Amino acid sequence: MKIKIAEAKEWSEPPPNPMGRSQFTPASAEIVFRSSDKTYSIGNGYARVPHVASEAVGPFNSISVTIKQDGIHYTTKKPYVKKVTVRIDAKHVKVDPEGQYVDLPGWHKSVKGVISKDGDLLDTEGKTIATREEQVKLARAYMKWPKVK
Protein backbone atom coordinates (compact mmCIF):
# COMPACT_ATOMS: atom_id res chain seq x y z
CA MET A 1 0.00 0.00 0.00
CA LYS A 2 1.45 3.35 -1.06
CA ILE A 3 1.12 6.39 1.15
CA LYS A 4 0.28 9.58 -0.67
CA ILE A 5 2.01 12.76 0.38
CA ALA A 6 -0.43 15.52 1.19
CA GLU A 7 -0.19 18.54 -1.06
CA ALA A 8 0.98 21.73 0.56
CA LYS A 9 -1.78 24.27 1.03
CA GLU A 10 -1.42 28.01 0.76
CA TRP A 11 -2.80 29.55 3.94
CA SER A 12 -4.36 32.97 3.62
CA GLU A 13 -4.44 33.01 7.41
CA PRO A 14 -2.33 30.97 9.82
CA PRO A 15 -3.77 27.72 11.13
CA PRO A 16 -5.44 27.94 14.54
CA ASN A 17 -3.43 27.17 17.67
CA PRO A 18 -3.81 23.44 18.52
CA MET A 19 -3.83 24.38 22.23
CA GLY A 20 -6.98 26.47 21.70
CA ARG A 21 -8.06 29.89 22.90
CA SER A 22 -7.17 31.31 26.29
CA GLN A 23 -9.81 32.23 28.83
CA PHE A 24 -8.32 35.75 28.82
CA THR A 25 -9.98 38.07 26.33
CA PRO A 26 -7.75 40.30 24.18
CA ALA A 27 -9.48 43.38 25.63
CA SER A 28 -8.62 42.47 29.25
CA ALA A 29 -5.18 40.83 28.97
CA GLU A 30 -2.05 42.66 30.19
CA ILE A 31 0.09 41.37 27.30
CA VAL A 32 -2.09 43.03 24.62
CA PHE A 33 -1.34 46.63 23.64
CA ARG A 34 -4.45 48.82 23.27
CA SER A 35 -4.56 52.35 21.88
CA SER A 36 -7.13 55.05 21.25
CA ASP A 37 -4.88 56.71 18.64
CA LYS A 38 -3.64 55.24 15.36
CA THR A 39 -0.28 53.46 15.64
CA TYR A 40 2.24 52.01 13.18
CA SER A 41 1.46 48.76 11.37
CA ILE A 42 2.44 45.35 12.75
CA GLY A 43 4.66 43.29 10.43
CA ASN A 44 3.89 39.69 9.44
CA GLY A 45 5.09 37.28 12.11
CA TYR A 46 5.48 40.09 14.65
CA ALA A 47 3.47 40.70 17.82
CA ARG A 48 2.93 43.99 19.63
CA VAL A 49 3.38 44.13 23.39
CA PRO A 50 3.23 47.11 25.78
CA HIS A 51 6.67 48.49 26.58
CA VAL A 52 7.48 47.67 30.19
CA ALA A 53 11.27 47.89 30.29
CA SER A 54 14.21 47.35 27.97
CA GLU A 55 17.94 47.79 28.19
CA ALA A 56 21.00 47.23 26.02
CA VAL A 57 22.87 44.06 26.96
CA GLY A 58 26.46 43.07 26.25
CA PRO A 59 28.91 44.19 23.59
CA PHE A 60 26.71 42.94 20.77
CA ASN A 61 23.63 44.66 19.38
CA SER A 62 21.19 42.87 21.70
CA ILE A 63 18.58 44.17 24.09
CA SER A 64 16.65 42.72 26.99
CA VAL A 65 12.88 43.31 26.88
CA THR A 66 10.52 42.64 29.81
CA ILE A 67 7.00 41.44 28.92
CA LYS A 68 3.97 40.94 31.16
CA GLN A 69 2.40 37.54 30.35
CA ASP A 70 -1.05 36.54 31.60
CA GLY A 71 -1.66 33.15 33.14
CA ILE A 72 -3.60 31.04 35.63
CA HIS A 73 -1.68 29.98 38.75
CA TYR A 74 -1.51 26.19 38.85
CA THR A 75 -2.28 25.82 42.56
CA THR A 76 -4.65 28.69 43.34
CA LYS A 77 -6.31 28.70 39.87
CA LYS A 78 -6.43 32.49 40.00
CA PRO A 79 -5.27 34.84 37.24
CA TYR A 80 -1.83 36.38 37.64
CA VAL A 81 0.72 38.27 35.57
CA LYS A 82 4.22 36.89 35.11
CA LYS A 83 7.11 39.11 34.02
CA VAL A 84 9.16 37.44 31.29
CA THR A 85 12.47 38.87 30.12
CA VAL A 86 13.64 38.01 26.61
CA ARG A 87 17.04 38.79 25.13
CA ILE A 88 16.89 39.51 21.42
CA ASP A 89 18.98 41.07 18.66
CA ALA A 90 18.03 44.74 18.36
CA LYS A 91 17.85 44.64 14.57
CA HIS A 92 14.76 42.37 14.81
CA VAL A 93 12.89 44.60 17.28
CA LYS A 94 10.70 47.55 16.30
CA VAL A 95 10.25 50.13 19.04
CA ASP A 96 7.64 52.86 18.99
CA PRO A 97 9.29 56.30 18.77
CA GLU A 98 7.22 57.39 21.78
CA GLY A 99 8.14 54.25 23.76
CA GLN A 100 4.60 52.92 24.29
CA TYR A 101 5.00 49.51 22.63
CA VAL A 102 7.51 47.06 21.16
CA ASP A 103 7.05 44.76 18.15
CA LEU A 104 8.81 41.41 18.61
CA PRO A 105 9.30 38.66 15.98
CA GLY A 106 7.40 35.45 16.73
CA TRP A 107 9.96 33.34 14.86
CA HIS A 108 12.83 34.30 17.20
CA LYS A 109 13.78 31.51 19.62
CA SER A 110 13.87 33.74 22.71
CA VAL A 111 10.14 34.55 22.58
CA LYS A 112 9.02 30.91 22.46
CA GLY A 113 6.10 30.39 24.82
CA VAL A 114 5.16 34.08 24.77
CA ILE A 115 4.58 34.67 21.03
CA SER A 116 3.74 32.06 18.39
CA LYS A 117 5.54 31.86 15.03
CA ASP A 118 2.53 33.53 13.41
CA GLY A 119 2.62 36.50 15.80
CA ASP A 120 -0.16 35.42 18.17
CA LEU A 121 0.18 36.38 21.84
CA LEU A 122 0.11 33.37 24.19
CA ASP A 123 -0.71 32.89 27.86
CA THR A 124 1.48 30.83 30.20
CA GLU A 125 -0.25 27.60 29.09
CA GLY A 126 0.49 28.27 25.39
CA LYS A 127 -3.09 29.16 24.48
CA THR A 128 -3.83 32.06 22.14
CA ILE A 129 -4.91 35.30 23.80
CA ALA A 130 -4.87 37.53 20.71
CA THR A 131 -4.22 36.77 17.05
CA ARG A 132 -2.32 39.23 14.90
CA GLU A 133 -5.59 40.53 13.41
CA GLU A 134 -7.02 41.18 16.89
CA GLN A 135 -3.81 42.99 17.86
CA VAL A 136 -4.12 45.24 14.78
CA LYS A 137 -7.69 46.18 15.74
CA LEU A 138 -6.93 46.84 19.43
CA ALA A 139 -3.71 48.76 18.71
CA ARG A 140 -5.33 50.61 15.78
CA ALA A 141 -2.20 49.75 13.77
CA TYR A 142 -3.04 51.44 10.49
CA MET A 143 -0.12 53.84 9.80
CA LYS A 144 3.02 53.00 7.81
CA TRP A 145 6.39 53.04 9.57
CA PRO A 146 8.60 56.00 8.58
CA LYS A 147 11.49 55.25 6.22
CA VAL A 148 14.87 54.90 7.92
CA LYS A 149 17.92 56.17 6.03
| Residue 12 covered by a domain | no
Give the DSSP H/E element, type plus range, for residue 44.
none
| Residue 22 covered by a domain | no
Pair 22, 128: CB distance under 8 Å = yes
Pair 10, 121: CB distance under 8 Å = no
What confidence tens digit (pLDDT) does each residue in 103-120 have? 999 888 888 889 988 889
Percent helix, strand, coil in the chain, to 5, is 10, 35, 55
Q: What is the pTM of this model?
A: 0.80
What confidence tens digit (pLDDT) does each residue in 75-102 have? 888 999 989 998 888 888 888 888 889 9
| Residue 16 covered by a domain | no
User: Is the pLDDT score of 15 beyond 70?
Assistant: no
Query: What domain range includes position 80?
Result: 39-143
pLDDT for the residue numbered 146: 74
What is the number of domains present in the chain?
1
Instruction: Give the confidence band of 8 by pLDDT, cuts at 50, 70, 90.
Output: very low
| Residue 119 covered by a domain | yes
